[in-house]
Structures are given as structure tokens and as C-alpha cells.
Amino acid sequence: MGPQRTLFPWVHCHDSGSSGPDQEREKRWAELFDELDLNKDGHIDITELRTGLAGRGLSRASLEKLVEAGDTNQDGVLDFEEFTQYLRTHEKELNLMFRSLDRNNDGRIDAAEIQHSLHAVGVNISLEAATRILQSIDKDGTMTIDWNEWRDYFLFKPITNMEDVARYWKRSMMLDIGEQLTVPDEFSEEEKKSGYVWRQLVAGAMAGSVSRTGTAPLDRLKVFRQVHGSSAFKGNVLSSFQYMLKEGGLRSLWRGNGINVLKIAPETAIKFTAYEKIKHVMRGNNESKTLMIHERFVAGSLAGAIAQTAIYPMEVLKTRLTLRKTGQYSGIADCAKQILQREGVTAFYKGYVPNLLAIVPYAGIDLAVYETLKFAWLNRNRGLADPGVTVLVGCGAISSTCGQLASYPLALIRTRMQAQASVRGAPKPSMLALVHNIVTQEGVAGLYRGISPNMLKVIPAVTVSYVAYEYTRIALGVDIEGRRGGKGKG
């Protein structure tokens, strides 16, 4: 096999300090600028960059960051001086990054060093996975990455440290499909101290509010079908929808949405705080320890249980308000008052046990599927590039859907137990008795009653929540890699 061609042969130069290589490099950059300047106006814009660098695995967002970083006069395009200055500056940053990864200072990065650097920022991968990442950058087949290979690969990618790689894959706050049982994302100490985390939480809460409001009719349809079994309501999804419209009109489709939106903020804040505290306990005296996947799952599940315990009365109120008939309650406070007077305090924790049990399959499968999809993409797409919106949303939607499918029977049992008092004259069986009754009367399929509207809302929910998240994040002045908006430090 002959020698492999490098990604950017025009940037190769020796590392000596002589003027010859520097002059050669400047000449190559001038040739590249001329190639990219398609209309020969002395400037390069986004369209020309996308055309000239097509096939390099660069998203539009990455190219926009490149222009923003180099555009010193803020005219939206790069002239030759700005272009070459960006390449000089970014090359220096890449050199610092390369040296930090090269732990044994031998001038080459091996698979163990890639694995260690990713572990340090919360991305836990096997040595085999690190080797596949290395092979995607290693062009001479030496099973190591030298400086030229490193620079050629990353020169047009807007990353300056390994944390940028991990930040691309933070998604738990940006996607909301109605359940908050996922394991929280990992954040560095710098992100926590800078206030980035709480800006992300606010952006996520706002996105969740918009998403839940937009898909509230499908959510109410799901709850309606979960509670009204086939023996009580023989209609299909369409007839259920028509019944709700006839009973309460168009506005009735949003019943229960107010409390569903209100509970986002406290649940998110409590779960994240608990998650950080639990991780601190698990690390013991070793604060620099990176938790493994199973440890993150345990910490996330416990944090989810704590958050659910704290806000669970709001879950019961949400179910009762969602199922209410016209005129039954005047509002959230009236609903809470009636439940307290007629059923006592314990009514606010009906269905609590199946709800807690649902956390384990939901969080576990969601995390496992997401990590699997993430590393499959990393390994097949040169490891460290920006995955792009489509991949992020797709991975999040698939993993959350798998988690929901696994935990759906428990969610159905929880909802029926929460609604028991709202169904006139209905018996109030235990969790196991409910499962037995459903399987006996409706078969195993009865445990998945209402799942069709639940699945129908996944795509619009993740789409709306991501778009809302993006606009909110921009308004708060924080980009997806976690830095403040504008031309801050790269």
C-alpha cells in the first residue's frame, strides 16, 4: 500500500524556527485562500467556505465559528490577513492542546493518551474505542498521531481543548419529551463556576415549557387512554380525541399543562443539585475521579428519586387536572384543597412506588442507548468532530424513546393509581392487583394502552424543545460549547 495522502497537504511544514518553512507555509495559505475565494473578490464568506471545504465533516455552525473567530473587523467575511491570522492563532492553540495530550513528551499521541484525556472531561471510552479514534486521524499507519497529522485534522475545526469534545454531547437539558427521568449531563468545574450550568438549566426549562405546551393535547390524550381502560372506553385514539373536544372544547386539550410546566424548574434544580452531591460522596477523597457509566447511572437514578419524591404531589395534581371534567376544579389550588379534604395527605403520593421503580429502566436504558449511539458516531466519524444538530436530536430522541418504552407499563400503573379517586365508584386496588386486573381483562397489550399518542409526540416534542432551547440559549448569551456569546476566548 502506498503512502496515504494527508487531509491538508498544503499546511505541512517542518517544525524548525527557520524562515524557510514559515515562508513556505505562508505561500501554501495564500494558495488555499485563492482556491477558497471563488468569486475572486479578495474575501471568503460562509458559502465559499462550505463549498471549498466540503467533505471535511464541518457543520455550518463550525464554519460560522471559524469566520467569527477570524473576522476582526466584523464585516462577516475574511480577507487574506484575517484568514492567515486565524490559521496562525488556531495552530498555536492546537499545539498547546497537542502538548497537553502528549503526556510522555515523545512528540506523538497514542490511544492510551486519547483515552485518558477524554476520561478527564467525563467522556469514558474503552481503549479499543480510543484506538479507533486514533486510526481516523493517523494517516501514516504508525498507530500514533504526530503533530502534522494532529494539525492537519483540526486546523479548520473550532475546538481548542478536549472539553469541547464532551460539550458537543451535552443534551439532557435541550430535549424534553415530557419525562425528566434521564441521568444529568457532566459539567466541568470551570462550567460550574462560570454560571454556564445554571444558564443551561434555565434554557432547558424554557425549552421544556414550550415543548410541553405544544404537545399538551397528545399528552392529555395519552393520560385519558391510560386511565380509561378498554372495558370503560372502547373507542380508538381518534374517538377519544373527539370525546375530549366534545366534553370541554378546544381549550380542554391543554388541561393539566399549567402544573406540568410549573414542575419543570423545581424538578430540574433538585435533581441536578442532588446529582452533584451524590457524585461528591461517591468520589470520596478523590475529587478528580471520573465516574464510570454504571456509577453515573446509580447517581442519576438516586438524584431522580430524590427529585421525584420532592415534587411528586405536583405529579398527582397534574394527573387529576388533566382528567378533570368541565367545572370540576377552579384551578390548581382548588384541586389540591379538594384532594386534601376528601382523601387526606397520603393521596398526594398515590402511585409513588411504581413511579420510583420506573426510574431504573428509564434512566438505565436511556443512558445506555445514548452512550452507545454517541460512541458509534464518534468511532465512525473521525471521533472528535462536531456531531451536528441532526445527530444530537436523533440520539436523544431514540434513547429517550427506548427508555419510555421500557418503563411505560409502570408509568401506566402510576397514572391509574394517581387517578383512582377521580373515577367515580372505582375500586382502589394495589399496584400488583392493578397489573393482574389489566393483564386479565385486556392482555399484556393493556399495559401499553395510550402509547400511540405518546410515541406521536416524541418527534414534535424534541424538535420544538431543541428550537426553543437554541433561541433561549442565544438570548442568555451562551453558545453550545459553553462559552459566553461573542468573541470570547477560544
Task: Assign 3-class secondary structure to the chain.
Answer: CCCCCCCCHHHCCCCCCCHHHHHHHHHHHHHHHHHHCCCCCCEECHHHHHHHCCCCCCCHHHHHHHHHHHCCCCCCCEEHHHHHHHHHHHHHHHHHHHHHHCCCCCCEECHHHHHHHHHCCCCCCCHHHHHHHHHHHCCCCCCCEEHHHHHHHHCCCCCCCHHHHHHCCCCCCCCCCCCCCCCCCCCCHHHHHHCHHHHHHHHHHHHHHHHHHHCHHHHHHHHHHHHCCCCCCCCCHHHHHHHHHHHHCHHHHHCCHHHHHHCHHHHHHHHHHHHHHHHHHHHCCCCCCCCCHHHHHHHHHHHHHHHHHHHHHHHHHHHHHHHCCCCCCCCHHHHHHHHHHHHCHHHHHCCHHHHHHHHHHHHHHHHHHHHHHHHHHHHHCCCCCCCHHHHHHHHHHHHHHHHHHHHHHHHHHHHHHHHHHHCCCCCCCCHHHHHHHHHHHHCHHHHHCCHHHHHHCHHHHHHHHHHHHHHHHHHHCECCCCCECCCCCC
Residue 36 contacts by C-beta under 8 Å, 6 or more apart in sequence? 44, 48, 49, 52, 53
Confidence band for 4, pLDDT divided at 50, 70 and 90: very low
Backbone CA torsion sign across 301, 302, 306, 312: positive
- In our burial notation (b when 16+ CB lie closer than 10 A, e otherwise), range 387-421 reads bbbebbbebbbbbbbbbbbbbbbbbbbbbbbbbbb
Q: Which residues, in sequence order, are bridge partners of residue 108?
A: 146
Percentage with pLDDT > 90 across the chain: 15
Average pLDDT over residues 330-334: 92
For the ranges 47-51, 362-366, 434-438, the one whose mean pLDDT is highest: 434-438
Overall pTM > 0.75: no
387 or 362: whose pLDDT is higher?
A: 362
Residue 316 contacts by C-beta under 8 Å, 6 or more apart in sequence? 339, 347, 348, 349, 350, 351, 418
**Grid cell for residue 278:** 451524590
- 440 pLDDT exceeds 80? yes
- 413 pLDDT exceeds 90? yes
Average pLDDT over residues 297-326: 90
CA distances from 252 to 226, 262, 327 (A): 17, 18, 11
Closest CA to 417 of 405, 409, 429: 429
Average pLDDT over residues 200-208: 82
Confidence band for 133, pLDDT divided at 50, 70 and 90: confident
Average pLDDT over all residues of the chain: 78
Contact criterion met (CB below 8 Å) for 451 and 228: no
384 or 138: whose pLDDT is higher?
A: 138
CB atoms within 10 A of CB 210: 18
The span from the CA of 263 to the CA of 58, in Å, is 38
User: Lowest mean pLDDT: which of 25-34, 189-198, 214-223, 415-424?
Assistant: 189-198
Average pLDDT over residues 328-342: 91
